[in-house]
Amino acid sequence: MSFGLVVLVSGTGTLLQALIDASAADPEVQILAVVSDRPGVSALDRAEAVQIPTVVHPYRRGDDRARWDAELTAAVADFAPDLVVSAGFMKLVGPAFLGRFGGRMINTHPALLPAFPGMHGPRDALAHGVKITGATVFMVDDGVDTGQILAQAAVEVYDGDTVESLHQRIKVVERDLLLASVRRLASRAGTADPNQPSFSSTTMNPRGANH
C-alpha cells in the first residue's frame, strides 16, 4: 500500500523535486498533490511537469486568516494524505489545519533548531558567526519551528560564505534529510503504534555536501 503525501510549497521547489524524483523511484511513496500559497512559482511547474495535481491557495493581506486556514485544510483533506510535507512553504498553518493534520505534518528548516528559527535561518547563522549550522526536519506544532525534532544534519560554515552559498550547501543536506525522514515515516506507517509516527533524532554525515 502506498504512502500518500501532500506537499506544501511557496517557491523554487528544489525540495519538492527531490520528493518527486524519490517517489518516481519508489512506488511506496506517492505525491498526491502539491499546494502553493503563491501562484506562478516554479514549484508548481515541477509538479505539473509530472502530472501531479496542484492547488493554489493564496493568502492576501487583509484576508480572514481563520478562513484561509480552514480552506487550506479542506483543500489538503480532499487528497486524504498520510503525511503533509511543508517543503519551503512560507506560511504558518493555523488551528484548523493542525487539528486535522497535527502529528502528520513535517517541515524542514535550514538551520540546526532550536538555533535560528524563522524566515532567515542561513542569514541569522552567518550573522551570528557560528562555524557549524545545518538542517532540521521536525514535526509541525503551533509554534514557529518549535516542533519535535526528527532528524538533523550539520553543515560547516566556510570563510567567505554568503547567505546564498551557505543556503545552497544546506539545501543539499536538507534534501537528503527530508527524503530519509519521509521514507522512515512511510516504513513506520501501519506498524505497531499508529500514535508514534515520529522517530528519534538522526545525525547524517554532511561530508557529501561539503566536500
Query: Omega into 53 within 30° of 0, i.e. cis?
Result: no
User: Which residue carries 517543503 as its cell?
Assistant: 87
Taking every pair of Cα atoms in the chain, the longest distance, rounded to a whole number of angstroms, is 49
3-class secondary structure, 97 = helix
88 in contact with ligand GRF (CB under 6 A): yes
Residues 16-75 touching ligand GRF, rule: CB under 6 A, are: 16, 43
Q: In angstroms, rounded to a whole number, what is the distance separating the alpha carbons of residues 75 and 56?
A: 10
168 in contact with ligand GRF (CB under 6 A): no
- Shorter beta-carbon distance to ligand GRF: residue 43 or 154: 43
Residue from the set 69, 82, 174, 176 that interacts with ligand GRF by CB under 6 A: 174
- Shorter beta-carbon distance to ligand GRF: residue 168 or 191: 168
Q: In angstroms, rounded to a whole number, what is the distance separating the alpha carbons of residues 204 and 107?
A: 17
Stretch that binds ligand GRF, among 61-69, 102-110, 123-131, 195-203 (CB under 6 A): 102-110
Give yes or no: 211 in active site. Answer: no
Residue from the set 46, 91, 109, 169 that interacts with ligand GRF by CB under 6 A: 109
E strand or H helix at 30, and its extent?
strand 29-36
**Which grid coordinates are listed for 4?**
500518500
User: What is the size of the binding site for ligand GRF (CB under 6 A)?
Assistant: 14
**Which grid coordinates are listed for 139?**
514535526
Residue 93 and residue 85 in contact, taking contact as beta carbons nearer than 8 Å = no
Residues 143-162 touching ligand GRF, rule: CB under 6 A, are: none
123 in contact with ligand GRF (CB under 6 A): no
Q: In angstroms, rounded to a whole number, what is the distance separating the alpha carbons of residues 117 and 21?
A: 28
Residue from the set 5, 8, 52, 87 that interacts with ligand GRF by CB under 6 A: 87
Q: How far is the CB of 119 from ligand GRF (least distance, A)?
A: 8
Which residues, at least 6 apart from 101, have a Cβ–Cβ distance to it below 8 Å? 73, 76, 81, 84, 93
Residue from the set 2, 11, 22, 103 that interacts with ligand GRF by CB under 6 A: 11
Q: Which residue is nearest to ligand GRF (CB)?
A: 88
Contacting residues toward ligand GRF, per CB under 6 A = 11-16, 43, 87-88, 108-110, 171, 174
